[in-house]
Amino acid sequence: FFFRKCLITSKSLVSTVSWALLICYGAYQFGKFLLVTSYIPAVTSVYHTVQHATSYRAGGCGTKLATTIYPDSDIAKRMACGRTKAEAIVTDVLTPASVEDSHTPSFSVASDASNHGTTKLFPLSVHYWTPDLGVQTKVLDFYDDSDETSAAIHNQIVTKLEENGLGLDMISAYSADNASVNYGRYNSANFVAHIVHNCAKHAGDRLNINIENVVNKTFSHFSSSAKRTEELKSIRTFVEIEYQSLLRNVPTRWLSLCPAVKRLHESWAPIKTYFLSLGEDGCPKSLWRLFKDDQDGEGNPLDLQVIHFNSTQRFFFIQVLLHEIMIMQTVCSGPAAKQEVGHGCDMDSYDEYCVVLPHQQAIVQSGAPVVEKWATLLKHTHTHTHTHTHTKHDSISFFLLSVPITNASVERVFSLMTGCWTDTRNRYSVNLIKSEIQVKSNFTFSCKDFYTYVVKEKVLLNAARSNKKCKFKKVET
């Protein structure tokens, strides 16, 4: 009887301990769930702060205010996200997550450079294509470097690619604006349009007048005075010429000079009449000499100068175009002579062709972009498997569709930088600005859709929950 009683007592004790452990484990998991779910609104609010370029202090104040406005909300009570925590979430959680899907068989690289005060900044972006996501462009890095040499830019690009697990053998193209390529076998691979512009600019120095000075002086004379503009309008009405505002020449926008000269030439008669009516004392001296010499004419001097300017520009354009055609013939004929014919159409390619053939005509005649046509075409071949093996068609598509048609992706970075680095946010570090640019560029979600995305990303939430703010890393399951 004694042993039976001890056995019953032992079973009761084990059962009690088991229930206690189960309750503790359940409480732990529930607390962990509450802790993780409390970071969902915090991460979303940080994303909202970045997308709309508001202050992190304002965001922290908003989270504190939420507990007062919504006193009955458990989420608002658990939500806490100050300035330091918000910056850590941006730099160590959202930024690594924004570039996590950039690993493809082929990608192109684009870079540019610009100044922010005395700091030289270089954006670096990658352009690639996948059948599921289509064409993607992501900002890979945004760094500062005082060394602008070709070797320094090359070393930085190689380093940044290696840090993100990307190899040089995967690059399909390189795009840059005013790239310094004065090294290696071929030197001075300049932009053709810049060559034409520089030739026309030096030819313009042979004219009797300074075209740029005339355009800027005339524009500034009328742009700052409504009274002068009205007087010019009255003269235009008298000579029966429709009023058109003068254009300004911007030195950094060198293509603006030709439209500005053309507009000035079209309005030459009323403008000359206006400045001659001012007299020598009221007219700027640089303009008075021009209009005085042309006082009794019908605009012939300026006509001749414009014709000379356009003829010079056309001549150099033809010369450069002919030179470029010769280069392209050499480039195209060389690989064509060395190209070897492959094995032709094997059975696998023939099977793929038979599968695609019924859908080919409908895909070609559809009004979808080229990228979507290729994606639809490849889906019908059923070649994409879970082992990530790709056929020849896939490899060609990955390569060709990764070649960019413009350098706008990195040029847009500077516009985003201007929006992030405002006068009220002028103490932010380059690393924080880089992180904000990557989050704004690489994530295409609205603030509402980002909340839905974060709910499913448990790894991202765990990284945000960590006291160390560990960087986001994709964990294979």
What is the tens place of the pLDDT at every residue in 257-308? 778 888 888 888 888 888 888 888 888 888 887 877 766 655 445 554 555 5
How much is the mean pLDDT over the chain? 74
pLDDT above 60 (res 177): yes
pLDDT above 50 (res 452): yes
Q: Are 455 and 45 in contact (CB under 8 A)?
A: no
pLDDT at 158: 92
pLDDT above 90 (res 240): no
CA dist., res. 421 & res. 469, Å (int)? 24
pLDDT at 119: 87
**439: pLDDT confidence band, cut at 50, 70 and 90?**
very high
pLDDT at 436: 92
Backbone φ/ψ region at 334: left (φ over 0), alpha (ψ -120 to 50), beta: alpha
C-beta contacts of 84-87 below 8 A and 24+ residues apart: 85/42, 86/45, 86/46, 86/49, 86/56, 86/59, 86/60, 87/56, 87/432
Q: What is the DSSP letter of 250?
A: B
Q: What is the DSSP letter of 450?
A: H
Backbone φ/ψ region at 191: left (φ over 0), alpha (ψ -120 to 50), beta: beta
Q: Are 233 and 246 in contact (CB under 8 A)?
A: no
pLDDT at 297: 56
CA dist., res. 113 & res. 347, Å (int)? 49
CA dist., res. 84 & res. 181, Å (int)? 42
pLDDT at 300: 46
Q: Choose among 425, 428, 450: nearest CA to 47.
A: 450
Q: What is the DSSP letter of 137?
A: E
Q: Choose among 46, 63, 30: nearest CA to 439.
A: 46
**338: pLDDT confidence band, cut at 50, 70 and 90?**
very low
From residue 211, how far is each of 149, 201, 207, 256, 275 by CA, in Å?
34, 10, 8, 12, 17
Range picked from 162-176, 183-197, 199-213 for highest mean pLDDT = 162-176
Q: Averaged over 120-137, what is the pLDDT?
A: 86
pLDDT digits (tens, 9 = 90+) for 251-267: 666 667 778 888 888 88
